Protein backbone atom coordinates (compact mmCIF):
# COMPACT_ATOMS: atom_id res chain seq x y z
CA UNK A 1 0.00 0.00 0.00
CA UNK A 2 1.66 3.23 -1.13
CA UNK A 3 1.40 6.51 0.73
CA UNK A 4 -1.62 8.59 -0.20
CA UNK A 5 -0.61 11.35 -2.61
CA UNK A 6 -2.50 14.43 -1.60
CA UNK A 7 -2.66 18.10 -2.50
CA UNK A 8 -3.73 21.21 -0.69
CA UNK A 9 -6.71 22.86 -2.28
CA UNK A 10 -7.93 26.15 -0.84
CA UNK A 11 -11.49 25.62 -2.05
CA UNK A 12 -13.55 26.84 -5.01
CA UNK A 13 -11.62 30.15 -5.16
CA UNK A 14 -8.26 28.45 -5.48
CA UNK A 15 -6.76 29.38 -8.86
CA UNK A 16 -5.47 25.80 -9.02
CA UNK A 17 -8.48 23.66 -9.86
CA UNK A 18 -9.43 20.14 -8.91
CA UNK A 19 -8.94 19.23 -12.55
CA UNK A 20 -5.35 20.46 -12.27
CA UNK A 21 -4.91 18.35 -9.15
CA UNK A 22 -6.07 15.27 -10.99
CA UNK A 23 -3.59 15.91 -13.78
CA UNK A 24 -0.83 16.28 -11.21
CA UNK A 25 -1.73 12.75 -10.14
CA UNK A 26 -2.83 13.34 -6.56
CA UNK A 27 -5.94 11.55 -5.36
CA UNK A 28 -6.41 12.97 -1.88
CA UNK A 29 -7.41 16.54 -1.19
CA UNK A 30 -6.29 18.57 1.79
CA UNK A 31 -8.75 21.36 2.37
CA UNK A 32 -10.42 23.58 4.94
CA UNK A 33 -13.35 25.95 5.23
CA UNK A 34 -11.21 29.08 5.24
CA UNK A 35 -14.20 31.41 5.05
CA UNK A 36 -15.44 30.40 8.50
CA UNK A 37 -14.00 32.79 11.10
CA UNK A 38 -11.63 31.22 13.58
CA UNK A 39 -13.47 29.83 16.54
CA UNK A 40 -16.88 29.35 14.93
CA UNK A 41 -18.49 25.95 14.52
CA UNK A 42 -18.08 24.41 11.08
CA UNK A 43 -21.63 23.58 10.04
CA UNK A 44 -22.21 20.03 8.87
CA UNK A 45 -23.92 21.21 5.66
CA UNK A 46 -20.92 23.27 4.64
CA UNK A 47 -18.57 20.40 5.31
CA UNK A 48 -20.77 18.13 3.24
CA UNK A 49 -20.92 20.67 0.44
CA UNK A 50 -17.13 20.91 0.26
CA UNK A 51 -16.92 17.16 0.31
CA UNK A 52 -19.46 16.88 -2.48
CA UNK A 53 -17.47 19.23 -4.72
CA UNK A 54 -14.28 17.26 -4.13
CA UNK A 55 -15.95 13.91 -4.73
CA UNK A 56 -17.74 15.07 -7.84
CA UNK A 57 -14.33 15.79 -9.30
CA UNK A 58 -13.38 12.17 -8.62
CA UNK A 59 -11.15 12.91 -5.64
CA UNK A 60 -11.43 12.30 -1.92
CA UNK A 61 -11.09 14.77 0.94
CA UNK A 62 -8.28 13.09 2.85
CA UNK A 63 -7.19 15.66 5.43
CA UNK A 64 -8.69 18.76 6.97
CA UNK A 65 -6.00 21.42 7.12
CA UNK A 66 -6.58 23.24 9.30
CA UNK A 67 -9.26 23.56 11.89
CA UNK A 68 -7.75 26.70 13.42
CA UNK A 69 -7.36 26.90 17.16
CA UNK A 70 -8.75 30.21 18.36
CA UNK A 71 -6.31 32.56 20.08
CA UNK A 72 -8.46 32.44 23.23
CA UNK A 73 -7.64 28.73 23.49
CA UNK A 74 -3.94 29.23 22.79
CA UNK A 75 -3.75 31.92 25.46
CA UNK A 76 -6.40 30.33 27.68
CA UNK A 77 -8.06 33.64 28.25
CA UNK A 78 -11.53 35.10 27.87
CA UNK A 79 -14.15 32.85 26.45
CA UNK A 80 -11.89 29.88 25.84
CA UNK A 81 -14.29 27.24 27.17
CA UNK A 82 -16.84 28.42 24.65
CA UNK A 83 -14.29 28.09 21.83
CA UNK A 84 -13.30 24.64 23.05
CA UNK A 85 -16.91 23.56 22.92
CA UNK A 86 -17.14 24.95 19.39
CA UNK A 87 -14.01 23.07 18.43
CA UNK A 88 -15.41 19.82 19.76
CA UNK A 89 -18.59 20.40 17.79
CA UNK A 90 -16.66 21.11 14.59
CA UNK A 91 -14.80 17.85 15.14
CA UNK A 92 -18.06 15.93 15.62
CA UNK A 93 -19.44 17.47 12.44
CA UNK A 94 -16.31 16.60 10.49
CA UNK A 95 -16.43 13.04 11.79
CA UNK A 96 -20.04 12.62 10.83
CA UNK A 97 -19.12 13.62 7.28
CA UNK A 98 -16.48 10.90 7.35
CA UNK A 99 -13.43 13.14 7.80
CA UNK A 100 -10.93 11.65 10.18
CA UNK A 101 -7.55 13.36 9.92
CA UNK A 102 -7.27 16.93 11.13
CA UNK A 103 -4.31 19.27 11.03
CA UNK A 104 -3.87 22.28 13.31
CA UNK A 105 -1.09 24.35 14.75
CA UNK A 106 -0.36 25.95 18.07
CA UNK A 107 1.85 28.79 16.86
CA UNK A 108 1.10 32.03 18.67
CA UNK A 109 -0.72 34.58 16.47
CA UNK A 110 1.22 34.05 13.28
CA UNK A 111 1.13 30.91 11.19
CA UNK A 112 4.20 30.31 9.00
CA UNK A 113 6.54 33.25 8.52
CA UNK A 114 8.68 34.30 5.56
CA UNK A 115 10.27 37.60 4.60
CA UNK A 116 10.17 37.21 0.82
CA UNK A 117 7.59 35.35 -1.26
CA UNK A 118 9.45 35.57 -4.55
CA UNK A 119 13.17 34.95 -4.19
CA UNK A 120 14.47 34.48 -7.68
CA UNK A 121 16.56 31.35 -8.06
CA UNK A 122 19.39 30.75 -10.53
CA UNK A 123 16.96 29.16 -13.00
CA UNK A 124 14.38 31.95 -12.90
CA UNK A 125 11.90 30.11 -10.68
CA UNK A 126 10.77 31.83 -7.50
CA UNK A 127 10.88 30.49 -3.97
CA UNK A 128 9.79 31.52 -0.48
CA UNK A 129 12.59 32.86 1.67
CA UNK A 130 13.27 33.67 5.32
CA UNK A 131 15.95 36.19 6.18
CA UNK A 132 16.89 37.19 9.73
CA UNK A 133 17.97 40.72 8.84
CA UNK A 134 14.67 41.42 7.08
CA UNK A 135 12.79 40.05 10.06
CA UNK A 136 14.86 42.41 12.21
CA UNK A 137 13.99 45.35 9.93
CA UNK A 138 10.35 44.61 10.60
CA UNK A 139 10.82 43.95 14.29
CA UNK A 140 13.08 46.95 15.07
CA UNK A 141 11.78 49.62 12.73
CA UNK A 142 8.19 48.76 11.81
CA UNK A 143 6.82 46.91 14.80
CA UNK A 144 9.30 48.66 17.12
CA UNK A 145 9.10 45.88 19.67
CA UNK A 146 10.55 46.70 23.05
CA UNK A 147 13.87 44.98 23.68
CA UNK A 148 13.91 43.41 20.22
CA UNK A 149 17.66 44.07 19.64
CA UNK A 150 18.51 41.44 22.23
CA UNK A 151 16.99 38.73 20.07
CA UNK A 152 19.43 39.25 17.20
CA UNK A 153 23.17 39.03 16.77
CA UNK A 154 25.05 42.31 16.50
CA UNK A 155 25.75 41.63 12.87
CA UNK A 156 22.06 41.20 12.10
CA UNK A 157 21.15 44.38 13.99
CA UNK A 158 23.71 46.29 11.93
CA UNK A 159 22.52 44.74 8.68
CA UNK A 160 18.94 45.63 9.56
CA UNK A 161 19.96 49.20 10.24
CA UNK A 162 21.61 49.50 6.83
CA UNK A 163 18.74 47.84 5.04
CA UNK A 164 16.16 49.99 6.73
CA UNK A 165 17.95 53.08 5.39
CA UNK A 166 18.08 51.73 1.88
CA UNK A 167 14.57 50.22 1.62
CA UNK A 168 11.83 52.31 0.00
CA UNK A 169 8.56 52.93 1.79
CA UNK A 170 6.92 50.53 -0.60
CA UNK A 171 9.42 47.79 0.11
CA UNK A 172 8.94 48.26 3.86
CA UNK A 173 5.19 47.99 3.53
CA UNK A 174 5.51 44.87 1.46
CA UNK A 175 7.82 43.31 4.02
CA UNK A 176 5.41 44.16 6.79
CA UNK A 177 2.51 42.55 4.96
CA UNK A 178 4.44 39.41 4.14
CA UNK A 179 5.38 38.90 7.78
CA UNK A 180 1.89 39.65 9.06
CA UNK A 181 0.25 37.31 6.59
CA UNK A 182 -0.90 33.94 7.78
CA UNK A 183 -2.96 31.62 5.65
CA UNK A 184 -3.49 33.61 2.41
CA UNK A 185 -7.27 33.32 2.51
CA UNK A 186 -7.47 34.43 6.11
CA UNK A 187 -5.99 37.93 6.02
CA UNK A 188 -3.34 39.89 7.89
CA UNK A 189 -2.90 40.71 11.54
CA UNK A 190 -2.54 44.43 12.31
CA UNK A 191 0.59 45.86 13.94
CA UNK A 192 -1.40 46.90 17.01
CA UNK A 193 -2.92 43.48 17.43
CA UNK A 194 0.46 41.83 16.97
CA UNK A 195 2.06 44.04 19.61
CA UNK A 196 -0.73 43.33 22.04
CA UNK A 197 -0.48 39.58 21.47
CA UNK A 198 3.28 39.61 21.92
CA UNK A 199 2.69 41.13 25.35
CA UNK A 200 0.16 38.47 26.28
CA UNK A 201 2.43 35.62 25.16
CA UNK A 202 5.35 37.08 27.05
CA UNK A 203 3.40 36.46 30.24
CA UNK A 204 2.40 32.97 29.16
CA UNK A 205 5.92 31.93 28.17
CA UNK A 206 7.10 28.57 26.90
CA UNK A 207 5.91 26.54 29.89
CA UNK A 208 2.52 28.24 29.91
CA UNK A 209 1.96 27.64 26.24
CA UNK A 210 2.76 23.96 26.72
CA UNK A 211 0.16 23.82 29.45
CA UNK A 212 -2.40 25.48 27.21
CA UNK A 213 -1.72 22.98 24.45
CA UNK A 214 -2.07 20.09 26.89
CA UNK A 215 -5.35 21.54 28.13
CA UNK A 216 -6.61 21.88 24.57
CA UNK A 217 -5.65 18.31 23.73
CA UNK A 218 -7.17 16.91 26.89
CA UNK A 219 -10.40 18.75 26.13
CA UNK A 220 -10.79 17.20 22.71
CA UNK A 221 -9.36 13.68 23.09
CA UNK A 222 -12.65 12.08 24.16
CA UNK A 223 -14.40 13.43 21.10
CA UNK A 224 -11.54 12.19 18.92
CA UNK A 225 -11.58 8.73 20.46
CA UNK A 226 -15.34 8.39 20.25
CA UNK A 227 -15.30 9.39 16.59
CA UNK A 228 -12.07 7.79 15.39
CA UNK A 229 -10.44 11.15 14.65
CA UNK A 230 -6.73 11.83 14.47
CA UNK A 231 -5.31 15.24 15.29
CA UNK A 232 -1.99 16.26 13.77
CA UNK A 233 -0.07 19.22 15.09
CA UNK A 234 1.94 21.17 12.54
CA UNK A 235 5.45 22.11 13.68
CA UNK A 236 6.43 25.73 14.11
CA UNK A 237 7.56 27.36 10.90
CA UNK A 238 10.32 28.43 11.24
CA UNK A 239 11.20 26.21 14.20
CA UNK A 240 12.45 28.77 16.69
CA UNK A 241 10.98 31.74 18.56
CA UNK A 242 10.47 34.86 16.46
CA UNK A 243 9.33 38.34 17.49
CA UNK A 244 9.61 37.28 21.10
CA UNK A 245 6.82 34.73 20.74
CA UNK A 246 7.22 31.36 22.47
CA UNK A 247 7.32 28.23 20.33
CA UNK A 248 6.54 24.74 21.56
CA UNK A 249 6.60 22.49 18.48
CA UNK A 250 10.03 23.23 17.10
CA UNK A 251 12.21 20.20 17.68
CA UNK A 252 12.40 16.54 18.60
CA UNK A 253 12.10 17.14 22.31
CA UNK A 254 9.00 19.33 21.82
CA UNK A 255 7.26 16.75 19.67
CA UNK A 256 8.13 13.93 22.06
CA UNK A 257 6.85 16.03 24.92
CA UNK A 258 3.55 16.69 23.15
CA UNK A 259 2.79 13.07 22.34
CA UNK A 260 3.89 11.83 25.75
CA UNK A 261 2.21 14.54 27.76
CA UNK A 262 -1.19 13.57 26.38
CA UNK A 263 -0.40 9.99 25.57
CA UNK A 264 -3.46 9.00 23.58
CA UNK A 265 -3.65 7.64 20.06
CA UNK A 266 -5.47 10.61 18.43
CA UNK A 267 -2.77 13.00 19.62
CA UNK A 268 -0.61 12.95 16.51
CA UNK A 269 1.79 14.91 14.37
CA UNK A 270 1.83 16.42 10.92
CA UNK A 271 5.41 15.70 10.00
CA UNK A 272 6.55 18.78 8.10
CA UNK A 273 10.08 18.29 6.83
CA UNK A 274 10.47 21.88 5.66
CA UNK A 275 9.43 23.46 8.92
CA UNK A 276 11.61 21.20 11.02
CA UNK A 277 14.44 21.18 8.49
CA UNK A 278 14.79 24.97 8.64
CA UNK A 279 16.33 24.60 12.10
CA UNK A 280 20.02 23.74 12.27
CA UNK A 281 19.20 21.86 15.49
CA UNK A 282 16.89 19.43 13.72
CA UNK A 283 17.54 16.20 11.89
CA UNK A 284 14.17 15.28 10.35
CA UNK A 285 15.09 11.62 9.84
CA UNK A 286 15.98 11.25 13.52
CA UNK A 287 12.78 13.02 14.54
CA UNK A 288 10.69 10.76 12.35
CA UNK A 289 12.34 7.71 13.87
CA UNK A 290 11.37 8.94 17.30
CA UNK A 291 7.79 10.12 16.76
CA UNK A 292 6.83 8.21 13.60
CA UNK A 293 4.26 6.06 15.41
CA UNK A 294 2.16 9.19 15.87
CA UNK A 295 2.65 10.65 12.40
CA UNK A 296 -0.67 10.61 10.56
CA UNK A 297 0.09 13.17 7.86
CA UNK A 298 3.23 14.49 6.20
CA UNK A 299 4.25 17.69 4.45
CA UNK A 300 7.26 16.97 2.29
CA UNK A 301 9.37 19.91 1.26
CA UNK A 302 12.99 20.94 1.41
CA UNK A 303 14.99 23.95 2.54
CA UNK A 304 18.49 25.26 1.98
CA UNK A 305 20.02 27.18 4.85
CA UNK A 306 23.02 29.48 4.75
CA UNK A 307 25.60 29.87 7.51
CA UNK A 308 23.50 32.54 9.23
CA UNK A 309 20.34 30.47 9.43
CA UNK A 310 18.50 32.21 6.58
CA UNK A 311 16.81 29.70 4.33
CA UNK A 312 14.98 29.35 1.06
CA UNK A 313 12.68 26.59 -0.05
CA UNK A 314 14.69 24.41 -2.39
CA UNK A 315 13.62 21.69 -4.82
CA UNK A 316 11.93 18.84 -3.02
CA UNK A 317 14.85 16.46 -3.44
CA UNK A 318 17.63 19.04 -3.09
CA UNK A 319 18.46 20.93 0.07
CA UNK A 320 19.35 20.20 3.65
CA UNK A 321 16.61 17.69 4.37
CA UNK A 322 17.63 14.14 3.58
CA UNK A 323 14.45 13.40 1.66
CA UNK A 324 15.62 9.92 0.78
CA UNK A 325 16.09 9.14 4.47
CA UNK A 326 12.71 10.66 5.34
CA UNK A 327 10.90 8.78 2.60
CA UNK A 328 12.59 5.51 3.47
CA UNK A 329 11.42 5.79 7.06
CA UNK A 330 7.96 6.99 6.07
CA UNK A 331 7.52 4.06 3.71
CA UNK A 332 8.57 1.71 6.51
CA UNK A 333 6.07 3.26 8.94
CA UNK A 334 3.34 3.19 6.33
CA UNK A 335 3.79 -0.52 5.79
CA UNK A 336 2.51 -1.19 9.29
CA UNK A 337 -0.59 0.94 8.91
CA UNK A 338 -4.15 -0.09 8.06
CA UNK A 339 -4.72 3.15 6.13
CA UNK A 340 -2.11 4.87 3.97
CA UNK A 341 -0.46 7.95 5.44
CA UNK A 342 -1.36 10.98 3.33
CA UNK A 343 1.48 13.25 2.30
CA UNK A 344 1.43 16.35 0.21
CA UNK A 345 4.17 18.08 -1.73
CA UNK A 346 4.34 21.06 0.54
CA UNK A 347 4.89 24.28 -1.37
CA UNK A 348 6.59 24.41 -4.74
CA UNK A 349 8.43 26.96 -6.78
CA UNK A 350 6.62 29.45 -8.91
CA UNK A 351 7.89 28.38 -12.30
CA UNK A 352 7.10 28.13 -16.02
CA UNK A 353 3.62 29.43 -16.82
CA UNK A 354 2.88 30.01 -13.17
CA UNK A 355 5.34 32.92 -13.16
CA UNK A 356 2.63 34.86 -14.97
CA UNK A 357 -0.23 33.79 -12.76
CA UNK A 358 -1.44 34.87 -9.38
CA UNK A 359 -1.57 31.90 -7.04
CA UNK A 360 -1.32 31.50 -3.30
CA UNK A 361 2.31 31.87 -2.20
CA UNK A 362 3.93 28.45 -2.21
CA UNK A 363 0.85 26.87 -3.73
CA UNK A 364 1.17 27.30 -7.48
CA UNK A 365 0.41 24.25 -9.62
CA UNK A 366 3.53 23.45 -11.57
CA UNK A 367 6.10 23.64 -8.78
CA UNK A 368 4.02 21.32 -6.65
CA UNK A 369 3.39 19.03 -9.59
CA UNK A 370 7.14 18.75 -10.00
CA UNK A 371 7.56 18.10 -6.28
CA UNK A 372 4.89 15.44 -6.23
CA UNK A 373 6.35 13.74 -9.28
CA UNK A 374 9.79 13.60 -7.69
CA UNK A 375 8.46 12.35 -4.38
CA UNK A 376 6.34 9.70 -5.99
CA UNK A 377 9.34 8.46 -7.94
CA UNK A 378 11.41 8.39 -4.79
CA UNK A 379 8.76 6.38 -3.00
CA UNK A 380 8.46 3.88 -5.82
CA UNK A 381 12.22 3.49 -6.03
CA UNK A 382 12.42 2.77 -2.32
CA UNK A 383 9.50 0.34 -2.41
CA UNK A 384 10.91 -1.61 -5.33
CA UNK A 385 14.50 -1.70 -4.26
CA UNK A 386 13.93 -2.50 -0.60
CA UNK A 387 10.69 -4.45 -0.42
CA UNK A 388 10.01 -5.97 -3.82
CA UNK A 389 10.68 -9.69 -4.04
CA UNK A 390 11.22 -9.87 -7.80
C1 LIG B 1 1.97 26.53 5.21
C2 LIG B 1 1.22 25.49 5.94
C3 LIG B 1 0.71 25.97 7.25
C4 LIG B 1 -0.18 24.93 7.91
C5 LIG B 1 -0.71 25.31 9.25
C6 LIG B 1 -1.39 24.13 9.90
O7 LIG B 1 2.14 26.42 4.05
O8 LIG B 1 1.94 24.34 6.05
O9 LIG B 1 -0.03 27.14 7.05
O10 LIG B 1 -1.26 24.70 7.10
O11 LIG B 1 0.29 25.76 10.08
O12 LIG B 1 -2.24 24.59 10.89
Between the CA of 158 and the centroid of ligand 1 the distance, in Å, is 32
Contact in structure between 100 and 229 (CB atoms under 8 Å): yes
Q: Of ligand 1's atoms, which has the minimum distance to the CA of residue 237? A: 11
Q: Ligand 1 pocket, 234 CB below 6 A?
A: yes
Q: Of ligand 1's atoms, which has the minimum distance to the CA of residue 275? A: 8
Q: What CA–CA distance (Å, rounded) separates 299 from 344?
A: 5
Q: Would you give per-residue pLDDT tens digits along the chain (390 residues)?
A: 999 999 999 999 999 999 999 999 999 999 999 999 999 999 999 999 999 999 999 999 999 999 999 999 999 999 999 999 999 999 999 999 999 999 999 999 999 999 999 999 999 999 999 999 999 999 999 999 999 999 999 999 999 999 999 999 999 999 999 999 977 767 789 999 999 999 999 999 999 999 999 999 999 999 999 999 999 999 999 999 999 999 999 999 999 999 999 999 999 999 999 999 999 999 999 999 999 999 999 999 999 999 999 999 999 999 999 999 999 999 999 999 999 999 999 999 999 999 999 999 999 999 999 999 999 999 999 999 999 886
Centre a 10 Å sphere on the Cβ of residue 113 and count the other Cβ atoms it contains. Answer: 20
Every domain of the chain and the residues it spans: 4-113+182-387
Q: Of ligand 1's atoms, which has the minimum distance to the CA of residue 105? A: 12
pTM of this structure? 0.98
Q: Of ligand 1's atoms, which has the minimum distance to the CA of residue 107? A: 11
Q: What CA–CA distance (Å, rounded) separates 134 from 140?
A: 10
Measured CA to CA in angstroms, residue 279 lies from 101, 160, 294, 321 at distances of 26, 21, 21, 10
Q: Ligand 1 pocket, 66 CB below 6 A?
A: yes
Q: Ligand 1 pocket, 370 CB below 6 A?
A: no
Catalytic center residues: 234, 272, 299, 346-347, 363
Q: Which of 65, 117, 213 to mutate to test the pocket of ligand 1 (most atoms within 8 A of CB)?
A: 65
Q: Ligand 1 pocket, 185 CB below 6 A?
A: no
Cα torsion through 356, 361, 364, 368, rounded to 10: 140
Q: What CA–CA distance (Å, rounded) separates 52 from 48?
A: 6
Q: Of ligand 1's atoms, which has the minimum distance to the CA of residue 66? A: 12
Q: Ligand 1 pocket, 299 CB below 6 A?
A: yes
Alpha-helical runs (H) found in the chain: 18-24, 44-56, 71-75, 80-96, 132-137, 154-166, 169-180, 191-227, 252-261, 273-277, 284-291, 323-335, 365-382
Q: Ligand 1 pocket, 183 CB below 6 A?
A: yes
CATH hierarchy code of domain 4-113+182-387? 3.20.20.150
Between the CA of 297 and the centroid of ligand 1 the distance, in Å, is 12
Between the CA of 126 and the centroid of ligand 1 the distance, in Å, is 19
Between the CA of 264 and the centroid of ligand 1 the distance, in Å, is 23
Between the CA of 218 and the centroid of ligand 1 the distance, in Å, is 22
Q: Ligand 1 pocket, 256 CB below 6 A?
A: no
Q: What CA–CA distance (Å, rounded) separates 298 from 301?
A: 10
Between the CA of 112 and the centroid of ligand 1 the distance, in Å, is 6
Amino acid sequence: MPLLQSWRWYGPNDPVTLQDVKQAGATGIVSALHHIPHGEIWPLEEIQERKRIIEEAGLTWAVVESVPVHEAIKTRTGNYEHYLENYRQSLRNLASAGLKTICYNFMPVLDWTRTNLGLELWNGAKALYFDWADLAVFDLYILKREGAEQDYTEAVVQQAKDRFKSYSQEKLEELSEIIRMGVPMEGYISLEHLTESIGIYKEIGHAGLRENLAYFLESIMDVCEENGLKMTIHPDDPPYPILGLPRIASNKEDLEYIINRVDRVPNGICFCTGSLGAGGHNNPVEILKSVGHRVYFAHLRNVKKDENGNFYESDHLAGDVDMYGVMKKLVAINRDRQEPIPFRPDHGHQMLDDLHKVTNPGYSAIGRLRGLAELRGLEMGIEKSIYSTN
